[in-house]
Structure 1
Amino acid sequence: MSLYISAVSALSRVLGVVAMVLTGAAAVVVCHMVFIRYFLNGSTIWQTEFVTYALVAATFLGSPYVLLHKGHVNVDLLQLRAAPPVRRAMQTVAGLFGIAFCALLAWSGWTYFHEAWAYNWTTDSVWRIPLWIPLLPLPLGIGLLVLQYIAEIMKIYGDAS
């Protein structure tokens, strides 16, 4: 059990670093785009699309890291007032709902990614990158979020014993 929790937590930390790098890269590209447009009076082709895809990827890939550090929005007023067994039950039910929603989202994201891969879809912009590249973070990040939810539920009952 602790091996699973450690492995998933390590993967979540790695994806957290990847999300941080993507966010930093998006900030640098925005600065580049501003410089090109306003100081050199040039046009930009790939920058807006890169920033959009990088920030969306950072959101999906960073979500397991945020869950690992209990950073997701959580209304815990009732949990804080409940007795420990009731609190564990409430956290478990919330985790199971999270797993169900994220598993469905990861599955539909995987289907969309696979279609883009199989049919060689590209973006409609001038840059025309293969669409599977910006679609991959959805099933990858949300799939790991499911694994992180499972680890969080395991932690609840590991602490109880």
Structure 2
Amino acid sequence: MLHLQTYVRVMDHLSEVTGRIAAWMFFFTGLIVSFEVFMRYALNAPTIWVDEISRIFQVWAAYLAIAYVLKHKAHIIIDITFRDPTSLNRKAADSFALLVVIGFCLITVKYGLDIWWKSTLAGHTTDSYLAVPKMFIQSAIWVGFGLMALQSLAEIIKIWTWHPQDLPKQTLVH
């Protein structure tokens, strides 16, 4: 039981860290896009790097944030039938939903890794002046969905082992 709780705490912490990294990446994206607007329209000297870097940051931020969103129950939840988080039906329904999420994540990780590996071996780059290796962009998919699968497992463990007062408020109120 102690190992499960350690796993949950490590995953919760990792999801918090990746969520904060994602937030800062979105913030930085806003800054560099603002810089680009200033350079382009005020100084008539557009940059060659802002467009691609902002896209890469947005892709990474979106995929890094999904485990954080799951941990905080900040996604869309419909619970018309099972409102009591302590009922067996609710625990079973939540666990089933998370198992479906894990299945989807594992499929995405497998195919994401395949595409990333082929692209890495072939040395594919973006079709831009910067020619960023595609491995940097494509790795966001399997990293993000891998983190989401691991956080989903942590959420299943919480459902069956934690007492309702130990769960975050978002878990209890939808």
TM-score, with structure 1 as normaliser: 0.94
Within a 5 Å distance, the mapping from 1:24-63 to structure 2 comes to 24-63=27-66
1:43, distance to aligned residue in structure 2 (A)? 2.5
1:82, distance to aligned residue in structure 2 (A)? 8.6
Instruction: Report the CA distance shift for 1:50/1:121 in structure 2 as closer, same or farther (over 3 A).
Output: same
Q: Which among 146, 160, 174 is matched to residue 157 of structure 1?
A: 160
SS of residue paired to 1:21 = helix
Counterpart position of 1:6: 9
Q: Take 2:98 and 2:24, find their aligned partners in 1: how far apart are those partners? A: 28
Size of the aligned set, in residue pairs, is 161
Q: Take 1:108 and 1:6, find their aligned partners in 2: how far apart are those partners? A: 29
User: What amino acid maps onto 2:83 in structure 1?
Assistant: L
1:68 to 2:66 alignment = no
Gaps of 5+ in 1: none
Would you say the 8 A contact 2:85–2:91 is kept in 1? no
Q: Deviations over 1:60-100 (max 9, x none)?
A: 01110111101111112222179701011100110111111
Within a 5 Å distance, the mapping from 1:10-159 to structure 2 comes to 10-80=13-83, 84-159=87-162
Deviates more, 1:29-38 or 1:109-118: 109-118
SS of residue paired to 1:71 = coil
1:159, distance to aligned residue in structure 2 (A)? 2.7
Gaps of 5+ in 2: 165-174
Q: Take 2:95 and 2:56, find their aligned partners in 1: how far apart are those partners? A: 33
TM-score, with structure 2 as normaliser: 0.87
